[in-house]
């Protein structure tokens, strides 16, 4: 399966580097167009790929990409209204609050194959005496922040400060564009903490009241941010 990273040059380089380790990947750079310029009847002549990931910052260019009628992930989204519009011409165009929200359950074969390796983080962890001895990212965010977080938390005790620093490391590495209407680096950090804790909830260390309160706060913040993204 060939993946095409379609960009105006600002975003997508880190995703290209990581995705290219798993799938044949094309870096497809198009002209940068100011967002206040309206592009009438804009067409894209680009390399044919099985799946496109768009980091285009101009909605008319993203719309033209969807018109190619290939499975497409919008790494930069322009809100639910725009997504509904492009899905009328290409139902296989999807957008998520962050690229690390993607899971292999879309019923679009190309996207689900991609999401086996990239999307919502999935960790395998060896845990002993309150400490993470080994950690492997089985599924990682395209930007690689899941791997950076794993490298930080390895050999660390599970504590609130360490979990918070883990999220900070993820957010620092996160490449969710500030441009766009549904990208949220803090949400990315929360998603990664949830993925980490999913492996550890049965451990005695996580039965401490302070840790349980922290987990509850994380879940509450996660729901709040998801609701906020849905109305942007």
| 113 in a structural domain | no
What's residue 77's pLDDT? 87
Digit-coded pLDDT (tens) for 94-135: 999 889 999 999 999 999 999 999 999 999 998 888 789 999
Task: Calculate mean pLDDT across residues 169-194.
Answer: 73
Instruction: Indicate the pTM of the whole model.
Output: 0.86
Which of the two residues, 182 and 27, has the higher pLDDT score?
27
| 203 in a structural domain | yes
Tokens in use for 31? 């002209």
Task: Calculate mean pLDDT across residues 207-229.
Answer: 78
Residues whose CB is less than 8 angstroms from the CB of residue 26 and which lie 6 or more positions away in sequence, other chains included: 2, 3, 4, 5, 47, 49
* Residue 166 neighbours by CB distance under 10 Å: 22
| 131 in a structural domain | yes
| 53 in a structural domain | yes
- In this structure, the strands spanning 93-95 and 51-55 are unpaired
Residues 137 and 221 in one domain: yes
Percent of the chain clearing pLDDT 90 (strictly above): 54
Residues 16 and 86 in one domain: yes
| 35 in a structural domain | yes
Domain end call among 95, 113, 136: 95
CATH number of the domain that residue 180 is part of: 3.30.390
Residues 90 and 139 in one domain: no
| 101 in a structural domain | no
Residues 139 and 182 in one domain: yes
Q: Structural domain tally of the chain?
A: 2
CA gap 183, 71 in Å, rounded: 20
Task: Identify whether the C-beta of residue 173 lies closer than 8 Å to the C-beta of residue 144.
Answer: yes
Residues 226 and 126 in one domain: yes
Containing H/E element for 52?
Answer: strand 51-55
- 80: domain range? 3-95
| 158 in a structural domain | yes
Residues 139 and 199 in one domain: yes
Task: Identify whether the C-beta of residue 134 lies closer than 8 Å to the C-beta of residue 125.
Answer: yes
Tokens in use for 195? 């993925």
What's residue 180's pLDDT? 46
- Indicate the pLDDT class of residue 203, thresholds 50, 70 and 90: low
| 112 in a structural domain | no
Residues 129 and 215 in one domain: yes
Residues 134 and 188 in one domain: yes
Task: Identify whether the C-beta of residue 149 lies closer than 8 Å to the C-beta of residue 170.
Answer: yes
- Indicate the pLDDT class of residue 188, thresholds 50, 70 and 90: confident
């Amino acid at each position: 399966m060939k993946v095409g990273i379609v960009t105006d040059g600002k975003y997508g380089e880190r995703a290209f580097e990581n995705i290219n380790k798993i799938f044949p990947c094309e870096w497809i750079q198009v002209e940068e167009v100011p967002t206040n310029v309206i592009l009438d009847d804009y067409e894209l002549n680009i390399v044919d790929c099985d799946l496109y990931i768009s980091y285009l910052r101009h909605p008319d260019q993203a719309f033209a990409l969807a018109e190619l009628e290939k499975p497409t992930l919008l790494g930069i989204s322009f809100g639910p209204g725009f997504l509904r519009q492009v899905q009328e011409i290409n139902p296989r165009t999807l957008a998520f609050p962050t690229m690390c929200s993607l899971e292999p359950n879309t019923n679009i074969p190309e996207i689900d194959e991609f999401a086996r390796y990239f999307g919502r983080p999935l960790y395998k962890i060896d845990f002993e005496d309150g400490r993470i001895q080994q950690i492997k990212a089985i599924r990682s965010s395209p930007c690689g922040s899941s791997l950076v977080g794993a490298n930080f938390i390895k050999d660390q005790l599970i504590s609130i400060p360490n979990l918070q620093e883990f999220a900070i490391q993820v957010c620092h590495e996160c490449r969710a564009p500030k441009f766009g209407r549904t990208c949220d680096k803090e949400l990315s950090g929360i998603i990664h903490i949830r993925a980490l804790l999913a492996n550890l909830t049965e451990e005695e260390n996580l039965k401490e009241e302070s840790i349980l309160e922290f987990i509850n706060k994380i879940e509450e913040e996660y729901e709040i941010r998801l609701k906020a993204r849905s109305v942007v």
